[in-house]
């Protein structure tokens, strides 16, 4: 028996330029940012200047976004995970992206309309931690399937 069994999603929609990035315009970008800012822990990502590396490469400056402080998870993936969760729930309830805030989407009223929800993923990386964090913050269940041999947490 193989250790990994791979199967393709026969209903998968092939990616196009439109499906890849066409739907994310200025308005939706503002909605995403507003949603993330509605988390009490949200803070803009600091830029860190890499002076030694810039000097070594003969550049005037290099700056990188430091995501190591993002919600205490050391990764940016929680932003996408939280937004995707909010969009799925909002879509099921007919809530506009304009109205997505932590309070609006994950209120007791919304949870009572949805019933019990459990978020599920299969990963041994930051995405699993992001999904568990999102579920905990929003009062949802979470299951993270990890592959055999994954490094312990």
Catalytic member of 74, 77, 98, 137:
77
CATH class as words, domain 36-145: alpha beta
Q: 78, 97, 92: which is closest to 25 by C-alpha?
A: 97
pLDDT of residue 71: 85
Residue 51, pLDDT score: 95
Average pLDDT over the chain, rounded to whole? 83
Question: Is residue 77 flagged as an active site residue?
Answer: yes
The domain segmentation of the chain, as residue ranges, is 36-145
Report how far residue 149's alpha carbon sits from residue 153's, in angstroms, rounded to the nearest whole number. 12
Please tell me the predicted confidence (pLDDT) of residue 53. 93
pLDDT of residue 67: 86
8 Å CB contact between 118 and 128: no
Q: What is the DSSP letter of 70?
A: G
Rg (CA), the chain: 19
Determine the pLDDT at residue 37. 92
Please write the tens of the pLDDT for every residue from 19-33.
555 566 777 888 888
Higher pLDDT, 91 or 143: 143
Instruction: Give 79-112 pLDDT, tens digit per residue.
Output: 889 999 888 888 888 888 777 788 877 777 877 8
Per-residue confidence (pLDDT) for residue 3, from 0 to 100: 59
Structure tokens given for 129: 């931690």
Q: What is the pLDDT of residues 13-65, one digit of tens each?
A: 777 655 555 566 777 888 888 989 998 888 888 899 999 999 998 989 999 98
Three-class DSSP labels, the chain: CCCCCCCCCCCCCCCCHHHHHHCCCHHHHHHHHHHHHCCCCCCCCCEEECHHHHHHHCCCCCEEECHHHHHHCCCCHHHHHHHHHHHHHHHHHCCCHHHCCHHHHCCHHHHHHHCCCEEEEECCCHHHHHHHHHHHHHCCEEEEECCCCCCCC
């Amino acid at each position: 028996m193989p250790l990994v069994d791979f199967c393709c999603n026969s209903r998968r929609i092939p990616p196009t330029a439109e499906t890849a990035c066409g739907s994310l315009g200025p308005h939706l970008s503002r909605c995403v940012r507003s949603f993330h800012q509605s988390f009490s822990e949200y803070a803009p990502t600091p830029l860190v200047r890499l002076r030694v590396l810039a000097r070594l490469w003969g550049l005037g400056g290099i700056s990188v976004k430091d995501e190591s402080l993002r919600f205490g998870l050391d990764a940016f993936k929680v932003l996408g995970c939280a937004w995707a969760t909010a969009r799925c729930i909002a879509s099921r309830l007919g809530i506009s992206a304009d109205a997505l805030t932590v309070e609006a989407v994950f209120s007791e009223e919304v949870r009572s309309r949805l019933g019990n929800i459990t978020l599920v993923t299969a990963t041994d990386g930051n995405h699993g931690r992001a999904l568990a964090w999102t579920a905990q913050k929003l009062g949802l269940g979470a299951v993270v399937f990890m592959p055999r041999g994954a490094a312990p947490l």
